[in-house]
Structure 1
Amino acid sequence: MKAAILHAPGGLERIEIVERDRPEPAAHEILVQVHASSLNYHDYVVAIGGIPTEDQRVLMSDGAGEVVAIGDDVTQFAVGDRVISTFFPNWVDGPISLAKRAGTPGDRGPGMAAQFVAGAENAFTHAPAGYSHVQAATLPCAALTAWRALMVEARIKPGDTVLVLGSGGVSIFALQFARVAGAKVIATTSSQSKADRLTELGAEHVVNYAEDPKWGKTVKQLTGGRGVDAVVEIGGPDTLGQSIAACRMGGHISLIGVLTGVKGEVPTAAFFYANLTMTGISVGSRCQQQDMVRAIEASGIVPVVDSEFELADLAEAFAYQKAQKHFGKICLTL
């Protein structure tokens, strides 16, 4: 079988497509023929060596495919089932812990950029009915992160207002989940063409952050001065201050990304004055993923796929991701 591996210490030029033996499932494991994956910022950081991993690690955290064999004592899947991977294979339910964070595919464990993957049945869930493999592959990281941010941590309800930043995978899913939950959405972008697409997806207002450096104040004004109930914060230090300025009293910020860096100043006075809460979000549990899949099937949400690359073009896909020209998810077909 073919697989995409990374030679240490990393770099897009050190990705190689190799032939490996097809694995066989052990007890409590399933063998999945992987048909698609999707690119996340985490995958890119691993690929360039920002997150060190072992030499010749198979890349990619997200995977979608079909069960082609099962090991002894498997009870949750049958041959022919369509499945998706989980970002944290050891986090089934309950609060996160160091042990539950271990083994992320493509990072601390074998990744999904391989035509066949064997893993514990608890490391997968069923894919939404009616989804293609490409659509299903967008869910394990980006969609679940957005789901946990809004539904689990912020606990949004009909009539709330949600602020999403940009038009990457997490932000688009957050917009879609918020809309089907009955919430209003305000989005930010620096592109008029992307603003138009965000509006088409249901954003009530779109603010151009490149033209408006005090966009947090503008967002608050768009809510009549009350502020937003929840923010899906993907930027980090350079955007956090504006996200705080956009919030209502008692609002919630889900800190998801560090696209602008890992250190910066926080306007602490404004934060505690507004009695805000902030939660660091690193994807979610298997049970949360199962809840999300049921909600997707009930709501009819369709993932926004920007483009598809073949396995052999994974380095090119990462370069496209780095350029930040995409809208929605970049996917990989195997």
Structure 2
Amino acid sequence: MVSSLIHTQVEESDIIDLEKRYWLLKAQSRTGRFDLETFVPLVSPPIHASLSEGLFHAFDENRDNHIDFKEISCGLSACCRGPVAERQKFCFKVFDVDRDGVLSRQEVHEMVVALLEVWRDNRTDTLPELLANVSDIVEGILTMHDTTKVGQLTLEDYQIWSVKSALANEFLNLLFQVCHIVLGLRPATPEEEGQIIRGWLERESRHGLNTGQNWFLISMQWWQQWKDYVKYDNKSIVVEQPLCWALEGGAPSRPPAWSPCPPPPDRGTATAAAGWSGPPAPRTTSLPTSPVRLRPWRALAAV
């Protein structure tokens, strides 16, 4: 069994689920390989296009231009399990474009630009960095953390900076969402599951609805049961439409890969708020007769 050959901080049962998910995603490839062309549309959005290739290479450890199952399992473990400082090692690989083990001044500049974009997409609160010149931010990072004094950051330099950086940690939070919702890692706890869904919905509620998006109707009863299960708080999610509770999908649109508990009351008619491992929601469905509400969601996780 593949799971017995992979040493990660992911449980064996989750490895089995990940393997199913991996083959489902890989099946979308025109080449039969989980290559960059297949990977980028899955993660972007919400990952910015400027970071998608770096994220792909962070998974592609052996640099053969495709991600095998061992690589995706180890990458998900490295990004989502363990102490934050260790997880930031994975982020470092995303920014190390030339893979030389250090971040050059140019790579640090590109990193800062990307992290500022991530913050603006995911947060409404302000940071001093948002008002500063990018070049000044770069110089500040290098002045404080470049131990080599040659205008670059080693992995250790980056880890020390990132642990206390709100920008770096917001990017790690975004990767955490993508690794679970898109790539299929199962949340470790109900509370973690609620945080993942909440973070995704908060971002998408600010984007509003767009032409061409697909929607998946869910049972209000299931949604309430799920919110109780994960102790979900949606007070800051402000965008609501007058039609129905639903999950919205971008292009391509898919419900998330893992199955939150409790299971939906009627699998045939409701798409779970966080999805389950199974077929996507039907393209057509009968609307309930009583008024319900609509909530946006860019679910990029299942075919």
Normalising by structure 1, we get a TM-score of 0.25
Structure with a larger share of its residues in helix: 2
More strand by share: 1
TM-score norm. by structure 2 comes to: 0.27
